[in-house]
Amino acid sequence: MDQKPPLPPFTLESAIQKVRMAEDAWNSRDPQRVSLVYTEDTQWRNRAEFPRGREEVKAFLARKWARELDYRLIKELWAYTDNRIAVRFAYEWRDDSGQWFRSYGNENWEFNADGYMQRRFASINDLPIQESERKFFWEAGRRPDDHPGLSELGL
For 110, the 3-state DSSP assignment is strand
Q: Is the pLDDT of residue 35 over 90?
A: yes
Q: How far apart are CA 130 and CA 102, in angstroms?
A: 10
Q: Tell me, what's the pLDDT at 1?
A: 62
State percent of the chain over pLDDT 90.
99
Question: Domains of the chain (ranges plus CATH)?
Answer: 12-133 (3.10.450.50)
Distance CA 121, CA 44 (A): 6
Over the chain, what is the mean pLDDT? 97
| 3-state secondary structure string across 28-69 | HCCHHHHHCCEEEEEEEEECCECCEHHHHHHHHHHHHHHHCE
Strand partners, 75: 89
pTM assigned to the model: 0.96
The answer to whether 20 and 75 have CB atoms below 8 angstroms apart is yes
- 89: pLDDT confidence band, cut at 50, 70 and 90? very high
